[in-house]
C-alpha cells in the first residue's frame, strides 16, 4: 500500500495574506458589531495581536472491492406460437406454463469491481469532498518524510478511522446465493497538508480572527487561532498506524479479505 505525506506549496505567502487580512479586519468582530451605527469597528482602532501559519490536514483514500459470486435465477420467455407444447433447450425438454411462458432455471456467474476514491477532512469538519479534490487537482504539492517545523496539526480523523469508513462504504450487501470471492484492496492513503494563515485582531479588548487560505486566498471572517494544536510533523508510523489487525484482516460480518496492496511491488 502506498502511504504518502504531501505538503502544498504556498500560493499566497505571508505578506499577501497579511495584506488581505488587513483589508478584512473590521469584519472579524461579528455582524452585530458591524451593524452598530454609533460604535462599529474602525480600521484605525483595530490592532494586530498575533499571527499564525499552520498546515491543516486532509486525507485521500483509494480502495477497490472485487467480488465473484453466483446467483440463482429464472428466465421467463414468452412463446409467440400458441401451438407449442414443449421446447427443447440445450438438450432439455421444457414445458411452458399456463401463461404460455417458458421458465428456465439458471445460475448467473457474476463478478464486480467497485472503486472508492474519497477525500476526508482531517479535522473532522464538514468540508465537501469536492473542495478537497480541487486542492489536490489544482495546486502543487511535494512529498515529505518528516519536518521539524512546529506548524502541523495532527489529524483528528485517523488512518484507522478511514479504514472503518472505507469498509462501511464498500461493503454493500451482494444479491448472491454463493460468494466465491470478496476482496477489498487498499491501494493508497495520502495525508495532505495545506497552508493556512490566521491573524488575531483586537478591538476594545475583543478578539477577532481572520483566516486566509494559503492556496486560493479564501477569507474566513470567523476564524480561530490553533497555536495550542500545532506541533512538528512527528512519527510517520504513528500517522499511518492502521492497527496490527489490519495488516492481513478479515472484515467482520462476511469473511471478506482485506488486503493492503503494495503499489511499489507491482
pLDDT band (50, 70, 90) for residue 215: very high
Instruction: State the average pLDDT over residues 199-219.
Output: 93
Q: For the segment 127-160, what is each residue's pLDDT rounded down to a tens digit?
A: 899 999 999 999 999 998 887 778 999 899 988 8
The residue with greater pLDDT, 255 or 117, is 117
Cα separation, 135 vs 214, in Å, equals: 11
pTM (2 d.p.): 0.81
Q: How far is CA 151 from CA 146, 154, 227, in A?
A: 12, 10, 9
Q: What's the CA gap between 219 and 20, in Å, rounded? A: 8
In this prediction, residue 261 carries a pLDDT of: 56
d(CA 159, CA 214): 25
- Output b/e per residue, 85-99; b: 16+ Cβ within 10 A: eeeeeeeeeeebeee
Band the pLDDT of 246: cuts 50, 70, 90.
very low
Res 86: pLDDT: 93
Secondary structure of residue 131 in the 3-state scheme: helix
Residue 138, number of CB atoms within 10 A of its CB: 10
Residue 248's pLDDT band (boundaries 50, 70, 90)? very low
pLDDT of residue 35: 53
Q: Which residue has the higher pLDDT, 9 or 45?
A: 9
Amino acid at each position: 500500500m502506498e502511504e504518502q505525506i504531501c505538503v502544498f506549496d504556498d500560493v499566497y505567502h505571508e505578506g499577501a495574506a497579511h495584506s488581505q487580512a488587513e483589508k478584512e479586519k473590521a469584519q472579524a468582530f461579528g455582524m452585530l458589531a458591524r451593524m452598530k451605527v454609533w460604535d462599529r469597528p474602525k480600521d484605525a482602532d483595530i490592532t494586530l495581536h498575533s499571527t499564525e501559519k499552520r498546515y491543516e490536514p486532509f486525507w485521500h483514500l483509494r480502495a477497490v472491492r472485487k467480488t465473484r459470486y453466483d446467483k440463482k435465477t429464472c428466465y421467463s420467455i414468452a412463446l409467440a406460437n400458441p401451438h407449442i407444447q414443449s421446447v427443447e433447450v440445450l438438450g432439455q425438454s421444457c414445458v411452458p406454463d399456463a401463461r404460455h411462458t417458458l421458465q428456465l432455471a439458471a445460475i448467473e456467474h457474476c463478478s464486480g469491481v467497485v472503486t472508492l476514491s474519497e477525500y476526508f477532512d482531517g479535522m473532522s469538519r464538514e468540508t465537501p469532498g469536492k473542495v478537497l479534490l480541487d486542492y489536490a487537482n489544482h495546486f502543487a504539492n511535494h512529498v515529505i518524510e518528516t519536518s521539524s517545523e512546529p506548524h502541523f496539526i495532527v489529524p483528528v480523523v485517523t488512518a484507522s478511522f478511514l479504514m472503518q469508513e472505507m469498509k462501511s462504504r464498500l461493503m454493500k450487501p451482494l444479491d448472491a446465493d454463493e460468494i466465491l470471492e470478496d476482496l477489498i484492496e487498499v491501494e493508497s492513503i495520502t495525508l495532505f497538508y495545506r497552508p493556512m494563515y490566521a491573524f488575531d485582531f483586537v478591538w476594545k479588548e475583543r478578539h477577532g480572527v481572520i483566516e486566509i487560505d494559503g492556496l486560493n486566498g479564501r477569507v474566513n471572517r470567523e476564524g480561530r487561532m490553533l497555536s495550542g494544536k500545532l506541533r512538528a510533523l512527528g512519527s510517520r508510523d504513528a500517522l499511518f498506524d492502521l492497527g496490527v489487525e489490519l495488516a492481513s484482516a478479515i472484515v467482520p460480518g462476511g469473511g471478506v479479505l482485506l488486503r493492503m496492496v503494495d503499489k511499489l511491488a507491482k
